[in-house]
Amino acid sequence: MLITKSLRKKYGSLEVLRGIDLEVKQGEVVAIVGASGAGKSTLLHILGGLDKADSGAVEIGGKDLTKLSTDQLADFRNQRIGFIFQFHNLLPEFSAWENVCLPALIKGEKPKETDRKAEKLLRMLGVFERKDHKPSQLSGGEAQRVAVVRALINDPAIVFADEPSGNLDSRNAEDLHRLFFELRNELGQTFVLVTHSLALASMADRKIEIQDGKVFYQHQNQ
């Protein structure tokens, strides 16, 4: 599903990524861990096409993102990649329903099909009754679940999550962690998660530690 080859990235004289080689399989849940400043978020942003590496390749489903134009990359992100951020990044002026449907409408999905998928996912994640509420009217856990639905609405090949439970209390964090694996089991979804949560990292199929811009070790969890 995902292959990277010798990814390197500098900001000025600071070398953040120093040759990253990774593979992620279809339906795998992978946790990327490491100390602050190790390069985890930079790596995730490059994997998801939000930033570009200075050299190396990123392939998702056989498509090399480094060879796409800016417009092609924007289309690919919309159609094939889902994102979940620590602070959910929902648009405050829109309802939960509108936030969820927006990526599908940008993609060009028919409104009726978008409505069907949005209702199915919102019900699956237990927030359908909150669909008409603005983000400010949702609890932290509800807002993050809506963000997960938004990430899934276009049936992405892979979902990237950057500290998805970092802004949640322990109960909501635990619920969100379980949700990722339920979605993998029900939808066959692939997740790559950057996290400081030891609980989430231990639940993942595989844990990859980044240290000083390199893969320090990989561990297959039981």
Asked whether residue 222 is domain-assigned, the answer is no
pLDDT digits (tens, 9 = 90+) for 100-115: 999 999 999 999 999 9
Q: Model confidence over 28-62: pLDDT tens digits?
A: 999 999 888 888 889 999 999 888 899 999 999 88
Within a domain: residue 40?
yes
Q: Is 208 a domain residue?
A: no
Share of the chain above pLDDT 90, in %: 52
Average the pLDDT over 175-204 and give the result: 88
Residue 190 within any structural domain of the chain: yes
Q: Decide if 79 is inside a domain.
A: yes
C-alpha closest to that of 149 among 171, 130, 174, 169:
130
In angstroms, the CA 100 to CA 206 distance is 29
Task: Write the DSSP symbol of residue 107.
Answer: H
Structure tokens, 58: 């990123």
| Parent domain of 182 | 2-197
The domain tally of the chain equals 1
| DSSP for 165-201, written as a single string | TTTS-HHHHHHHHHHHHHHHHHH---EEEE---HHHH
Do strands 2-11 and 55-60 pair parallel, antiparallel, or not at all (unpaired)?
Answer: antiparallel
Let me know if residue 126 belongs to a domain.
yes
- Check which CATH number belongs to the domain holding 164 and give it: 3.40.50.300
Assess if residue 52 is contained within a domain: yes
β-strands 55-60, 14-24: how paired? Answer: unpaired
pLDDT tens-digit readout, 156-177: 989 999 888 888 888 888 888 8
User: For 135-152, how does the pLDDT look when each residue is reduced to its tens digit (9 = 90+)?
Assistant: 999 998 899 899 999 999
What mean pLDDT is predicted for residues 2-10?
93
Q: CA 145, CA 219: separation in Å to the nearest integer?
A: 28
Answer for the pair 16, 38: CB distance below 8 angstroms, yes or no.
no
pLDDT above 70: percentage of residues in the chain: 100
Question: What angle is formed at CA 188 by the lines to CA 217 and CA 215, rounded to 5 degrees?
Answer: 15
Q: pTM to 2 decimals? A: 0.90
Residue 222 has pLDDT above 80, yes or no: no
Confidence of residue 198 (pLDDT cuts 50, 70, 90): confident
